Amino acid sequence: MVYHANRRSLLQLFEDKPRLSVCAPMVRYSRGAFRQVVRDYNVDIAYTPMILADVFKSSEFARQDFATNDSDCPLVVQFAAHDPVDLAQAAQIVAPYADGIDLNCGCPQKWAYKERIGAYLSDRPEAVRDMVRAVKSAVSIPCSVKIRKHPTDIRQTVELVRRAQMMGVDWISIHGRTRHQKSTEPIDYDVIRLVKESVSVPVLANGSIFSLADAEAMYENTGVDGVMSARGLLQNPALFSGANITPMECVEKYVNYALAYGTPTPIMHHHIMYMMESTMGSVERKTFNCLSSTPAILDYLSHHFDIRCTL
Query: Which active-site residues does the annotation give?
Result: 107
Question: Could you give the angle at which helices 265-275 and 282-289 cross, rounded to 10 degrees?
Answer: 170
* Distance in angstroms (rounded) separating the CA atoms of residues 245 and 280: 12
**Which of 175, 160, 123, 167 has its CA nearest to residue 142?**
167
Q: For residue 57, say whether it is annotated as part of any ligand binding site.
A: no
Q: For residue 268, say whether it is annotated as part of any ligand binding site.
A: no
Q: Are 276 and 246 in contact (CB under 8 A)?
A: yes
Q: For residue 231, say whether it is annotated as part of any ligand binding site.
A: yes
Q: For residue 26, say whether it is annotated as part of any ligand binding site.
A: yes
Q: For residue 17, say whether it is annotated as part of any ligand binding site.
A: no
Q: For residue 146, say whether it is annotated as part of any ligand binding site.
A: yes
Q: For residue 33, say whether it is annotated as part of any ligand binding site.
A: no
Q: Are 239 and 231 in contact (CB under 8 A)?
A: no
* Distance in angstroms (rounded) separating the CA atoms of residues 82 and 142: 19
DSSP string, 64-116: TT----TTS-SEEEEEE-S-HHHHHHHHHHHGGG-SEEEEEE----HHHHHTT
**Which of 138, 40, 44 has its CA nearest to residue 83?**
138
Q: For residue 109, say whether it is annotated as part of any ligand binding site.
A: no
* Distance in angstroms (rounded) separating the CA atoms of residues 201 and 170: 6
- HSE-CB of 142 using CA atoms within 13 angstroms: 22
Can you say which residues are annotated as belonging to the binding site?
25-27, 78, 146, 175, 230-231
Annotated binding-site residues for FMN read: 25-27, 78, 146, 175, 230-231
